[in-house]
Amino acid sequence: MYKCEVSKLIIPYQNLTLKEFEFLICSGKVTYLNMRGATIVDENGKKLPHVRIQMALHKYHCKLDIGSLF
């Protein structure tokens, strides 16, 4: 798979790397995101703070409705 275009992303209690997470949101079409209990880690396995995840969403121009981010 080389491209992912989702509008509703529901990934509660999942463990993803930042690269995997960015692949899921890279289309910029995500309007709803539920990642309650999910963990996003960097390339060293360190858990990313919420602000870093929000920066990734902004980077890909995701326009979110109110969802359960964390």
Residue 65 lies in a domain: no
Total number of domains constituting the chain: 1
Q: Which residues contact 45 (CB under 8 A, 6 or more apart)?
A: none
Q: Tell me the pTM.
A: 0.85
1 within some domain: no
In-domain check, residue 70: no
- Asked if residue 64 belongs to a domain, the reply is no
Confirm whether 31 is domain-assigned.
yes
Phi, psi of 25 (to 5 degrees): -105, 0
pLDDT of the chain along its 70 residues, tens only?
677 888 999 999 999 999 999 999 999 999 899 999 999 999 999 999 989 998 999 999 988 765 556 6
- Name the residue range of residue 22's domain: 9-59
**Domain-embedded: residue 66:** no
